[in-house]
Structure formats: structure tokens, C-alpha cells
Chain A
Amino acid sequence: MLEVRNLSIAFKTRDGLRPSVRNIDFTIKPGEILGLVGESGSGKTITSLAVMGLLPPNAVITSGEVLVDGTDMLQLGPAELRKLRGKHVAMVFQDPMASLDPIFTCGDQIIETIRLHEPVSKAQARQRAIDLLEKVRIPDPARAMRAYPHELSGGQCQRIMIAMAIACKPRIIIADEPTTALDVTVQKQVLELLRSLNEEVGAAILLITHDLGVIYEVADRVVVMYAGDKMEEASTRDLFTNPKSDYARALVDSMPTPGSHHDRLPVIERDALGNVRGVRPQPRVRSADAVPAPDANGAPLLEIKNLTKSYWVKPSPLATPVEMRAVDGVSLSIALRSTLGLVGESGCGKSTLSRAIMRLSRPDAGEILFRGRDIAQLSETEMRPFRREIAMVFQNPYGSLNPRQTVQELVEAPMVIFREGTAAGRRKRVTDLLEAVGLPSAAAAKYPHEFSGGQRQRIAIARALALNPSLVICDEAVSALDVSVQAQVLNLLKDLQVEFDLTYLFISHDLSVVEHISDAVAVMQKGRIVEYGSTHSIFNNPKEAYTRSLLDAVPTIGSERAGKGAA
């Protein structure tokens, strides 16, 4: 029913056409879920936009056909295309909140979709919208009808988007990273919803994602794309058990998966001939005498006791403010040179906790013992010597580097603030740091926009290390990166831990990443630590129901790979 034949797309640039998708072929049969997987820049989104006829003005289709039930979408005029869009082929986008018009109620937006394609009265459309909201299992559909997008959670907004997509019973639904912006448990619900709607409505789904776990959970067949080329097309089972192309194998390998324990993750490399393969790098080693002796008393570097931080919020305009405990009596400790993973869903208080440890906010009660000294209530001046001991790496490598500063200025900024060293000495130090994070020294003179996301995160890490901190807080530091780049950065963090004697507080929503990197894990829910223990015990023998539900929600490809490992 949807057949993409020999599709090539290029972008117009000053130097002529730059191809972005080359000779892609695939078909989706009715009722099938086809996964389209690839990393950023692989051309998967561009392909889907071409199917909808929604390519940006600077993109041109250089060859190929997109057949929807035999009609070539590429040959249709704007009016005919409009009739197909929404009615025949519907789309669900990545960021559900931004994909809805903020100033119309969700109900109105669904009603609008129905009335665009079907001549029904407003009242009829309203009734159908309510039915749709029930079908996508939104709690309290009547309220959701009246709500504006910002009044709903991300998961609920995505349900609205899905309700809108299935409103006119389309034959094909294109879902572009539909769960990337959502928490694992919400992701699981949305995927289950897509799967059941696929059975119920009978629409074929083209599921675009960078997340192999998502593919594994729901897709029947998979197309793997890399740099605009189709690398492989296989049934989901075959792809994970017996990937044929080198790239697909490397991609499957570079995912940290629960249950597999390796010191370093394989990374994807491209050799001189342009062939890709997975390589598992060796950990960097230090000579034995350079490794410091373990602390005699074994005192933890950081110990948090009963830490509490509240915000005052008004539940409704007229109500008196009520206390919202973002961090509620949290106690934790991190041993020197170890990694504590902190997991939890959005809004659980992870970031508030990390901000309190950084003393970017003053906690309401409790102690933060850093090398035995309580820093919870220190003044700005008293805090200053501790500032150089604790560094932070943020989630968004695009937003956390000032675009108008060179890498040299960015990385040396902490040293300048602490008036450390001479200009020449700082330059030397920046070169050393860049080398440590795997960037050439020539990078110092460049600006952040000249680097990829993974390279920018390396720059951010170099900056965090500038003052030789002992504790580095990584707040979702790899969440914005592609799987293979994520593997590189995780390997780097492990190498640096050995090289610079670092202690990590690693905050993430991604359990498989946390399992890979952490020695101990704390699970946070609604401001409290619900479970805390060694990584092994948390992942193999979770005591709390919440931990189990988190673990269950992780799309796992562990069983297949374990089978492969045994074979």
C-alpha cells in the first residue's frame, strides 16, 4: 500500500546539490509496522517528509516514486496532496507539546482535523473526538477536550497527536520518533497504544526512530539507514539475531543492554574505504604505581543526609500555595572514584537534587557532606573553594556552550574565573584536556558550531575537568546523543575516571546506560529515593515495585542477544 521506489533526495547548497538520501526502497503492507532506524543525519526523517510531500523548500527529489495505493504522491498537485494528508496518510511527530498549536484547545484541534476531511457537524465531530480520546486511553477525556496543550503532560499530548492521526482512519501512519521525548514508562504505554491501534484500526505504521529498543518492541520489519543509504532490510528478529550488514551489527552492538557486562562499548568506525564496522576499544591503562592507594578509612567523597528542598506552588489561581517537596529526605553516599547512577522519570527531583549538591540552590534541610564537611548552608564565599571540586556536564551540548566563544575560551573559563595560571599555562592545559577527551589541539581555535553533538559534549567534559574536580555531576550527559556517539562518550567517561580519579554522579532516565556505567544505583520517585544499592542488586533483584516497573518498561533486546551469545 505504501511503496517507496528508488527515492533520492538532495539539498540545494551553494556548491550545488548535496545528496541526503540515496536510492531508498521499501514497502509497507497493510497492518504492518515497519521500523526505519538510523542515527541523526541518516536521512530517515527526510524520507518520511518526502512521503508526506512536506519537504522543506531547499530539498529536491532527484529520483524515485512514492506510491500510495498505486498513486505517485510526488506527481500530485498541492490540492490533491492535501486531500491525502491526514485522511489517507497521517503523521505523529517527535515533540508532542510543540506539535500542537498552543492557543487552541486539544479538543478543537481534533475536531478541526475531522472536519477538514469529512462533512460532519461540529457536534458530531466533538462526539467523535471524545470517542477517539477514549480510544487512546486518556484519563478524563472531557477535561482533555477543554485543555490547552501546555496543561497536559508530554505523554498525554502524544496521545492527543495519535488521536488526531487516527481521526480519519488513515491507511498509513508515519510516526517520527514518537516516544523520544517521553519517559520510559510513558514510552511503553504509547508503544502499546500504537501496537493495539495498529491491530484495531488496521493502519500500517512507518515507525521512525534512533532507538533500537523501540524497534525491537513493536516493529515487524526493519529498514536500517546510514548516511542516506539503506544498509539493511530484515525482519526484526533477523536483524537482532543475525544482522547481515556491518553497520547494523555495529549498531546493535553499541547499545548498552541490561545483562551484558563489558568495560567498554563497541563504537562504530568508518575505515578509509568508507566501510563501517564496530570496534570495541581497549580501556586506557595507567601504570600501577600511578594509581593512588585506596583511602585507608574508605570515607565517601560525598554523603547526603536527609536532604530536603521544597517549592511553593499554587494548584489553582485562588488557592493558597502548597508545599511541593521536590527533594524529600534524600540520603545517599558516593564512594571515592566510583559512579553512582541516579535514575527516575521527569519531575522526580533528580535535577533539583543535583542543583542542591552544586549549591546552585540552598537546601531547606539536611546535610551535604563533601569530604566530611557540610556544605549545605555555606555562604557564597565559603562555598568558593568547593566550587572547583564539583563540576557539571549538562544534557544539551548545543545549549551549554556559548556559541560566540572559541573552544579555548570555553575550556579555560573556569581557570580564568579562579585566576589560575598564566595565559600560556592555560593554553597548555586546554591542549592537554582536549587531548584527554579525544579532540585535536587545533580544536581550541574553533567555535562550537563547527563540532558535532558528540564532539561538543567532549568539549563540555574538558571544561568540567579544567580545575581538576573530584566530583563530576553528569545530568543526562549522553541523553541527547546518538547510540554510537553515546557509546563513545560513555567510554570516554570511564577512561577519564581512571585517568583523573573522578567520582561521578550520573543522572539519567536511561536504565541501560546507568547499568553500564554505575557501581551503585539510586532510584528516585516523587522526591524520594525508593531503592538504593549496588548496580547488580538493583538490576537483578529489584525489591520495589516502582523499580520493577521501570525495568519492565525498558525495551530490551537482551534475550535475543543472550541467545546469540550462547550460540
Chain B
Amino acid sequence: MTASIAGALLLIGRKLLTAFIQLLVIATLIFSVMYIMPGDPVLLLLGADSNPSAEAVASMRTQLGLDQPVISQYFIWLWKALHLDFGVSLVNGYPISRYVLANLPRTLELAFAAIIIATLIGVPLGIAAALKRGSLRDTALTSIATVGISVPVYILGTLLVLLFSLKLGWLPASGYTDISRNVAEHFRKLALPAFALGFGLAASIARMTRSSMLEILGRDFVRTLRAKGMSERRIIWQHVLRNAAIPIVTIIGLQLGNLMGGTVLVEAMFNWPGLSTLLVGAVSARNYPLVQGSMLAIAALFILINLVVELLYSLLDPRIRRKRA
């Protein structure tokens, strides 16, 4: 027993280390991109139109640490980033970390709401289709799923707003209300963006659930369970679904990249003040430290969710748990 616990800890430790290295590589890329990009943040900060004096420029450079060699700039930046210090906003001097910490939970919430919605829609539909393979119901569900995968988020979002806010008036079209101020309003405003973001994923999950269920239903052990006298319902819920869950979790993990990409559009469309909104705003204002900080936060979030998915795998499949450790 201790050996398996030690094995599990070792597995988690190894995954954390990998995640850290991934983050380090991304941080380096982000730093390089910002360094290579044209435009001088100092001039921007002082206002290029006001023709700042050479001294003013030089002192600003020193203040921002831009007079140092690139390598030391990089390490200073990295060291500070490790302590969650991404510098201050060039626009108003607020610490970047405060912006990031304020917006990160909102993106996280949006992403998780989307995953939950997608799972709640996708898994039951997939099961329904698999149990009546080849029937009208199966064909209909599979076709809807195909459409769902192909519809771009911005079209679906627009349709949702048209239907649910403008026509029916059930839900607000956009915006954000903090949960501490009005719980009901918070979730009403979360509903449409989360649904728009999760719909494509729901379709992928439904298809994966269907094919995974069909594959598992054909396995020998299902016949054993029937021969044991177990009811079909219990076979499905207790055994088949748990086995089928492994590829379903995989597809959720793989689709996360799309999901994070989707947040850029969804946040902009529904005016959701998350990380992507922060990033887009920072890019247009050339607020370099903010761009770096929010990009790093998005990357970290992506890696974190992937880490959770991988650990979930091991929890679901004893074969991976013992083999990989």
C-alpha cells in the first residue's frame, strides 16, 4: 500500500516538474516575443508626440530596467515573475499581478462552466446515441453533433444572443456582475457565454462518448457481466461508462486548447472581463508588461488544466496509474 502511495506521489511530482519546465519555456518565448516586437515602450509611455527630451527617455529606461543587457533583463523579469511580480502597468502604474489576479478567476470560471455544460450535454447524448445504435435517434444526435462541431463560436454566440436576450428576453446579452453583489445576476450573465463556449466541446464529447461506449460494449467483460446476471442498466452505469470515461477525459483535455482560444472571442463578444479581455486591451494599448503578464497567466492556466486532466486519467485507469509511475 505504501508503495502505491509513494508511486502516486512520485507521479504527481514528475507531472508538476514537467509543468514547471513547460511554463519556463513559455515564459522565455513570451519574453523574447516582446523584446523582438517593434515599438519602444518608453516613447509610448512618455508620449511620442510630446517629443520627450533625451534625459527623460534615459531616466525612464533606467527606471524600467531597460538599460541593462537583455540577458539580465530576462533573468530579472523571470525572477520577478516567479514571485508573481509582473511589473506595473505602463498606463496607470498599477501592479500587473493585481489585474491578472482579478481577471484570472473569471476566465477560469467561464472555462469550467463551459466544460461542465459540455459534459452535462455531451455525455448523456453520447450514451443515448450509443444505446440505440443505427436508430433514427442515433442518426439525429450524431448529425446535430457534427453541426455543433462545425459552427464557429461567434456565429453560435450571435444566434444565442438573438434568441435568448433579444427575442425571448430571458438572459442578459452581455456583461458581468460580481458574485458578491448579486448571485443570481452573476449566473444569468455567465449562462450565455459559457454555453457558447461549451457547445462545440459538447458535440465532441457526445461523439467520443458514443464511439467509446460502443467499443466498450463490445468487450468480452461486458459479456461476463451479463453472464453474471447483472442488469443492463447497472452494466452501463457502473462498468461501461467508467471504462468509456478514459477517452472522454482525453477529448476534454485535447479540446482545452480550442476552449482557451474560444475565450478570446467569447469574452470579447459577451464583454466578459477575463484574461483575454485584459490581453486584447493590453495589446492595443501596447502595455507590454500587462501583455506579458496576462499571456503568462493564460499559459499557466492551460498547463494547470492539462495537469488536472492527466492526473484524472490515472485516477480513472489503474493500468496507467501503475505503469507510468
Contacts and interface: CB of A to CB of B under 8 A. Distances in A.
Interface of A: 52, 54, 78, 81-87, 90-91, 93, 95, 98-104, 112-113, 116-117, 148, 150-151, 161, 164, 316-318
10 contacts: A54-B226, A82-B230, A86-B227, A90-B227, A95-B220, A101-B221, A103-B242, A103-B316, A116-B228, A317-B3
B228 A101 contact: no
Given A99-B220, A317-B7, A148 B318 contact: yes
Given A316-B3, A318-B3, A102 B319 contact: yes
Contacts of B228: 85-86, 90, 112-113, 116, 164
Contacts, number: 85
Contact of B223 (A84, A99, A148, A317): A99
A101 B223 contact: no
Contact of A151 (B3, B220, B225, B322): B322
B219 interface: yes
Contacts of B225: 101
A92 to B, nearest CB: 9
Contact of A82 (B7, B231, B322): B231
B230 to A, nearest CB: 6
A84 B313 CA distance: 37
B221 A117 contact: no
A102 B244 CA distance: 12
B229 A93 contact: no
B226 A318 contact: no
Contacts of A95: 220
B151 to A, nearest CB: 35
B94 to A, nearest CB: 47
A116 B221 contact: no
B325 A317 contact: yes
Contacts of A317: 3, 6-7, 10-11, 322, 325
Contacts of A150: 318-319
Contacts of B220: 93, 95, 98-99
Nearest to B231: A82
Nearest to A85: B229
B239 interface: yes
Contact of B221 (A85, A102, A318): A102
A81 B239 CA distance: 20
Contacts of A84: 229
Given A103-B242, A164-B228, A318-B7, 13 more contacts: A81-B229, A85-B226, A86-B228, A91-B224, A93-B220, A98-B221, A99-B221, A99-B224, A101-B224, A102-B243, A102-B318, A164-B224, A318-B10
B40 interface: no
Interface string B311-322: 000001111001
Given A95-B220, A316-B3, A83 B229 contact: yes
B3 A116 contact: no
Contacts of A91: 224, 227
Contacts of A100: 221, 224
A165 to B, nearest CB: 9
Interface in B111-132: none
A93 B224 CA distance: 8
Q: Shortest 7 CB-CB distances between A and B: which pairs?
A: A86-B229, A317-B7, A85-B229, A317-B325, A86-B228, A98-B220, A91-B227
A45 to B, nearest CB: 11
A313 to B, nearest CB: 12
Contacts of B223: 54, 93, 99
